[in-house]
Amino acid sequence: MRVVISPYRICPIGAHSDHQGGPTLGMAVSAHTVLTFAPDATSTIRLTSDNFPGEVIIDLERLTSVDEHAGPADWSRYVAAAALVLRDRLPESPVGIRGHVRGTLPGGGLSSSASVLLAYLSALADVNDIVLSPEDKVDLALRAEREFVGIKVGILDPAAIVGGRRGQLLSIDSRAARWEGIPLGDNAPEFHILIAASGVTRNLAGTDYNRRVGECFAACRKLTSLAGLDDIAGLHDLDDAVFEQWGDRLPTPERRRARHFFTERARVRRGIELWKQGDVAGFGELMNASCQSSIDNWEAGSPELIELQRTLTEKPEVYGSRFSGAGFGGCIVALVSDFAAVAKNLPGRVFRVESDDGVRVL
């Protein structure tokens, strides 16, 4: 028997930037997808779960889509997506797996989808003697979610889960697909990472996330045309001055999405400086500003999520907080000086997590 530990991730600053090639900040945390597995004698995948009903049964030699041969379990789509994206690397007689998967936190917002995809990819690669580099794992997880699950995600989720290092913040260059661990400055005060669940769950494919991403690309195309530029792949390829000069010419939704991107890019750059200095309070203020922009400009947040974040912001022990994930449900991540004081009387479930290393097979 082998075990894959695939952490969840938080994004303190840099939300909704990676699909435009922008910089973002991530961290793997000590809440995980845990997949216990063994090689099967055939090409069949057989999985059960603590979190979802049913058994997933997939024949690697017959699988052609996420909807074929995947059994009745809804969560089979992610198993099938991992198998499909890896199929060109599988041997002629692929080895399946038998296993059981569980997740340690409820609800959305911590990228459990990327976490579980990377767990499946790691297990299938292990039993089939496939060596995957960190870059391979990120690329395969992205392709699985984009091509087979149908979500237009960026690099943040898989990069944070693959590249995470205990005690470090991960600075992710989405355009170059590179990441670097940033140690916290020596003078930083003690703090804890708090996760507060809103109780509102959502499937990202069922939200307006893809439409928001499309509006970002539409804003990019129009700004590029107005500025007389070409060869622009995303908003990150444009200077702030382009938006300052031409942003008022955009339709309101596209102007708001672009405004969020350009202000968030500045917050990421400043956040890296403050983290290196150990200025947790200043970093927390940027988290609050990032969340407010997600509400005003990205137009995310359920009423429950917004109220929970405002409740946290009012507590003196909270350095900063923001929505975790796409922001249509799920949870809040906060940096706090006193976990017990903040967690007291908060509605819903509250968890304390720490930074963690990235996905690994034990």
**How far, rounded to the nearest angstrom, does the alpha carbon of residue 349 sit from its chain's CA centroid?**
20
What phi and psi values does residue 222 have, to the nearest 5 degrees?
-70, -40
| 158-164: average pLDDT | 97
Q: Looking at the predicted structure, is the pLDDT value of residue 327 above 80?
A: no
Percent of the chain at pLDDT > 90 equals 80
What is the reported pLDDT for 104? 83
Q: Which residue among the candidates 18, 126, 157, 356 is catalytic per the annotation?
A: 157
Which pLDDT tens digit goes with each residue over 132-155? 999 999 999 999 999 988 887 889
pLDDT tens across 166-207, in order?
Answer: 999 999 999 999 999 999 999 899 999 999 987 665 544 445
Question: Collapsing DSSP states into helix, strand and coil, what is residue 111?
Answer: coil
**Mind listing the pLDDT tens digit for each residue in 343-357?**
998 988 899 999 999
8 Å CB contact between 201 and 46: no
According to DSSP, the β-strands at 2-10 and 23-39 are antiparallel
Stronger pLDDT, 202 or 246, i.e. the higher one: 246
Instruction: With beta carbons less than 8 A apart as the criterion, state whether 24 and 218 touch.
Output: no
Classify 31 as helix, strand or coil.
strand
* Choice between 326 and 51, residue whose per-residue pLDDT is larger: 51
- In the predicted model, is pLDDT for residue 163 greater than 80? yes
All structural domains of the chain, each given as residue ranges with its CATH number in brackets, are 2-182 (3.30.230.10), 185-353 (3.30.70.890)
Give me the amino acid identity at 145.
E
Q: Mean of the pLDDT values across residues 196-220?
A: 78
Weakest-pLDDT range from 32-41, 221-230, 323-332, 335-344: 323-332
Beta strand ranges found along the chain (DSSP E): 2-10, 23-39, 44-49, 56-59, 97-103, 168-173, 178-183, 192-197, 318-324, 331-336, 350-353, 360-361
What is residue 206's predicted lDDT score, i.e. its pLDDT? 47
Closest CA to 75 of 245, 203, 225, 240: 203
Q: How far apart, in whole angstroms, are the C-alpha atoms of residue 184 and residue 67?
A: 45
Q: Given a cut of 90, is residue 53 above it in pLDDT?
A: no
Q: Which residues contact 224 (CB under 8 A, 6 or more apart)?
A: 230, 232, 238
Residue 318's DSSP bridge partners are 336
Could you confirm whether 186 is annotated as catalytic? no
Q: Which two tokens stand for residue 250?
A: 């955009």
What pLDDT, on the 0 to 100 scale, is given for residue 345?
86
Residue with tokens 């945390």: 29
Output the average pLDDT for the chain.
92
What tokens appear for 96 in the block? 């399946």
